[in-house]
Amino acid sequence: MQQIARSVALAFNNLPRPHRVMLGSLTVLTLAVAVWRPYVYHPESAPIVKTIELEKSEIRSLLPEASEPIDQAAQEDEAIPQDELDDKTAGEVGVHEYVVSTGDTLSSILNQYGIDMSDISRLAASDKELRNLKIGQQLSWTLTADGDLQRLTWEVSRRETRTYDRTANGFKMSSEMQQGDWVNSLLKGTVGGSFVASAKEAGLTSSEISAVIKAMQWQMDFRKLKKGDEFSF
């Protein structure tokens, strides 16, 4: 190691003076760069967070003009114009109505509306024919204040309507038969605007139109009928 250092010193001394000055300067500069460390500021403390409480009026002034006041609850749903098919009569308030469709049973219909299975069983026991509902028949019912089934009405046909009233031991059935001669008639029409208006022009009453819509609501969408489409009843 000493021999290497002696050889380097001998070679350095044999260099011309300008070369020795330049080489010495570069050596000093290299050592200075290697030793020097730039001073960089690294904050060790967490940023200062300050909570400022503002009055509601001050908060509102900071919001864009199009914003809604944050101190107000969402307003009730705006009234949306309804199609004639969505109209409801005042008499339907508190009354649940359902038109039997494919695959429906008394149990499946009432159970989806939250009626207790024990009430459904007692109701079916009062009239075994309730187990044989047919497509297009209409059911309507009312509930007690506790949500129990109070009365159920079954339109078996245009001639017969059966009513089931709640009693202490179950349900009591009563039947009402419409008197008169029944004659079948055919009504035809063409869609000119809405189906409801066109059906009225063909001779159907509002209740008859409502019954048709409810009976066919799962088979077709009456809103998709086009001008010129024909129908018959």
Q: How many Å apart are CA 176 and CA 163, to the nearest integer?
A: 8
What is the percent of the chain where pLDDT is above 70?
67
Cα dihedral 221/140/119/164 (nearest 10): -150
**pLDDT digits 0-9 by tens, 111-133:** 998 899 999 999 999 999 999 99
Which of 185 and 109 is assigned the larger pLDDT? 109
Q: How many Å apart are CA 225 and CA 128, to the nearest integer?
A: 39
> How much is the pLDDT for 40?
45
Radius of gyration of the chain from its Cα atoms, rounded to whole angstroms: 45
Which CATH topology does 93-177 take? Answer: Nuclear Transport Factor 2; Chain: A, (3.10.450)
What is the percent of the chain where pLDDT is above 90?
19
**pLDDT digits 0-9 by tens, 56-91:** 555 555 444 444 443 444 344 334 334 444 443 333
Mean pLDDT of the chain: 74
Tell me how crowded residue 110 is: count the other CB atoms within 10 A of its CB.
22
Q: What is the pTM of this model?
A: 0.44
- What is the domain partition of the chain in residue ranges? 93-177, 188-232
> How much is the pLDDT for 44?
54
> How much is the pLDDT for 82?
45
> How much is the pLDDT for 58?
53
Look at residue 152 and tell me whether its pLDDT is greater than 90: yes
Q: How many Å apart are CA 126 and CA 171, to the nearest integer?
A: 6
> How much is the pLDDT for 133?
92
pLDDT bin (cut points 50, 70, 90) of residue 147 is confident
Cα dihedral 18/24/30/34 (nearest 10): -170
Ranges 62-76, 91-105, 208-222: which has the least confidence = 62-76
**pLDDT digits 0-9 by tens, 181-201:** 666 777 788 888 788 888 888
Highest-pLDDT range among 24-33, 66-75, 77-86, 158-167: 158-167
